[in-house]
Structure 1
Amino acid sequence: MSRVYLDHNATTPLRAQAREAMLRAMDVVGNPSSVHAEGRAAKAIVEKARGQISDALGASGADIVFTSGATEAAALAFSKWNGVLGTLDAANIEHDAVNAWVSSGLQVDENGIVCIVEDEGAQHDPIVLQLANSETGVMQSLTDAVVVSDLTQAFGKVPFAFDWLGCEAGLISAHKLGGPKGVGAYIVQRGVDVPAVIPGGGQEMGRRSGTENVIGIAGFGAAAEAAQRDVADGKWDRIEKLRNILEKALAAASKTTIFVGKEATRLPNTSCFITPGWKGETQVMQMDLAGFAISAGSACSSGKVKASRVLKAMGYSELEAASAVRVSLGLETTEEDVLRFVDVWAQKLKKHEARAA
Structure 2
Amino acid sequence: MPVPVVGLIGCGHIGRFHSRNIRGSFRSELVPGEYAAVCDRDLDRAGSFAAITGSRMVTDDPTEVFGLPGLNTVYICTETAEHPDLVVRAAELGLHVFCEKPLAKTLGEVRRMVEAVEAAGVVNQVGLVLRYSPVFTVMKEMMSEPGLGPLLTAHLRDDQFFPIRGHYASSWRGSFERAGGGTLIEHSIHDVDLFRWLFGDITRVRCHTRHTTGHDGVEDVAIATFQHAGGHQTSLSSVWHALDDRPSTRHLEVFFEGGYFATDHDFLGPIRYQGRTGPVEEMPTEQVFDRYVEIAGLEGGEVDLARAGMYEDYAFLRCVEEGRPAFPDFRTALAAHEVVEACYRSAREGQEFGVAEV
Higher helix residue share:
2
Q: Assess same fold via TM > 0.5.
A: no
Indicate the TM-score class for this superposition, using the shorter chain for normalisation: under 0.3
TM-score normalised by length of structure 2: 0.27
Higher strand residue share:
2
Q: Which has the higher contact order (CA 8 A, sep 6+)?
A: 1
